[in-house]
Structure 1
Amino acid sequence: MAKSSLPVIPRIVFGVVEPAMLVWAYKDSLENPTAFFAAQAPPFSADAVPPQALVLLLQLTNVYLLLAAVAVLCSWTSHASIAKWYLVAVALADYGHVHACYRGVGPDVFWDTSSWNAMLWGGVGVSAALNVLRWATLLGAFGRLRDPRGPPAPGARKTA
């Protein structure tokens, strides 16, 4: 197994599970862009996607694949500082992702979880859960980030 600066649970979540979800989103959005577009905000439906929206959707789709690759590279790196700053950057980006969902569906749908579809649960629920896990990892809840061949990363919290 490749050496990683992340403890086991975060390594599996951020280096395997999250990239797999991103590749699934990439594949799903390429297979049926109209359905993927319509699913972003319940109860919206679309028979056709405007060309401008299709361009943005396919650009977003490309970013999913890019993020999957970056997640794998940064989660399986032996450099603790790379993993640490990747987790910080993605944790901050999680807030923008959740805010985009809030802006898109509005407060009535956003705060009424019974009206959420699977896509909104992924956009908000999964992002929030991953965000908590990212900060917990950075705070040392699963053990400290360490360079497998060197001392712990600067600022990494020591655990017993």
Structure 2
Amino acid sequence: MALGTLLPYWPAILFAYLEPLSLLLGTQTAWTDPTRFATTQVPDDGTILTPSIACLSYTIGNIFLLLLLVAVLCLFISREARVARFYLLFVALGDLGHIYSSYRAMGPRKFWDFGNYNDIMWGNIGASAFLCVNRVATLMGVFGAVGSVKGGKKVKRV
């Protein structure tokens, strides 16, 4: 148990601190510069910010904020290892969905052309893949068990 969570040290840093920070930054970008947020999802596609695209950018920013709050709930507030493990599993599935959604939007040619990725594409695909691998590794116990003994009180491991 590390850093106020039921996670081992590395997953606690990654999922309880770094990822929520990145979600907050994503929210800030989507809300303060929806044009850049929308038009850099797939580079050079000539997208013009319409009210519909602006609405989608703001909505995605709101979803990022919601994910941050769910992470706080599951990793800090809940003291059950089972909740933390299911959170990691469900968000890993979401990572795969995020990568597939990017693939569908970009098409295979742009998706597999890693050399032409911009920062948003690396976030959508590279960061999602990195987080997914680390979530699965955490669930497999690579970094240690989720749940621990704290203050003489055993926390249930699942």
Same fold (TM over 0.5): yes
Counterparts of 1:25-40 in structure 2, within 5 Å, are 25-40=26-41
**Is residue 80 of structure 2 the alignment partner of residue 87 of structure 1?**
no
**1:87-142: per-residue Cα shift (whole Å, max 9, x none)?**
00000111100001101111001011011111000100000000000000000011
1:54 matches 2:54:
yes
What SS does the aligned partner of 1:121 have?
Answer: helix
Listed as ranges, the gaps of 5+ residues in structure 1 are 155-160
Q: After the TM superposition, which of the residue ranges 139-148 and 1-10 deviates more from structure 2? A: 1-10
1:51 CA displacement: 1.6
Superposed CA offset, 1:35-78 (max 9, x none):
110011112244x4122222222111101111111112222242
Paired residues, number = 153
- Scaled by the length of structure 1, what TM-score is found? 0.89
Separation in structure 1 between the aligned mates of residue 17 and residue 53 of structure 2, nearest angstrom: 30
Structure 2 unmatched runs, 5+: none
> Which ranges of 4 or more aligned residues in structure 1 deviate by more than 4 Å?
none
Aligned partner of 1:73 in structure 2 is 73
RMSD: 1.6
Please state how far the C-alpha of 1:33 moved relative to its aligned partner. 0.6
In the superposition, the TM-score normalised over structure 2's length comes to 0.90
The residue correspondences of 1:76-115 to structure 2 (distance < 5 A) are 76=76, 77-115=78-116
